[in-house]
Amino acid sequence: MDCQRCQVMLPQYSAGELNPEDAQRLEDHLTECARCRAHRAAEPYLEALLTAIPVYEPPPEFTETVLARIRPQAQHAPDMTRHWISFVAAALSTMVLVVAMQRLIHSLHAATQVAGGNGAGVDLWRISLKLPMPELAHPGMPAMAVVALTIVSLWVAWAALERA
């Protein structure tokens, strides 16, 4: 055990809170280290000083002053019912959007199948949406896009309703 560790553990040792192994190691160190013994001897003096620090007393009118500051805010307290209504409205609107997007993706996918092959299908996607579309190499990609879109839409809708 080194001096720093010993001095960190001294308060617990004095309070009898150390386990037997640590207490023994600490005692062995104290036997050999004059510096830590002096540290331990000064500890009660310092602790007595620290526990005798004057206490600041709040003025008698403190509580009333605090209440006077919060009264205007209490009159405009947040309405939790309104928060829940906003959240449900956002969830419903997001569901409608997600279902519409899923139907669109499904119909476009069906259209690519009719067009025959990924080459023409991809071209059809690009023409239909007028957007750069990546190769749909992963079969789950549309579903992942839908999940991401759901999360973003829900957050945007709820934030917009909260601000309203």
In order of 14, 18, 19, the CA distances from 29 in angstroms are 15, 15, 16
Taking alpha carbons only, the member of 85, 70, 94 closest to residue 148 is: 94
Comparison of 32 and 57: residue with beta carbon closer to other proteins: 57
What single-letter DSSP state applies at residue 122?
H
Per CB under 8 A, 32 contacts other proteins: no
Please give the single-letter amino acid code of residue 115.
A
Per CB under 8 A, 70 contacts other proteins: yes
Using CB under 8 A, which of the segments 72-80, 94-102, 106-114, 135-143 binds other proteins? 72-80
Per CB under 8 A, 85 contacts other proteins: no
Taking alpha carbons only, the member of 106, 89, 110 closest to residue 153 is: 89
Which residues form the interface with other proteins (CB under 8 A)? 4, 7-8, 11, 42-43, 46-47, 49-59, 62-63, 65-67, 69-71, 73-74, 77-78, 80
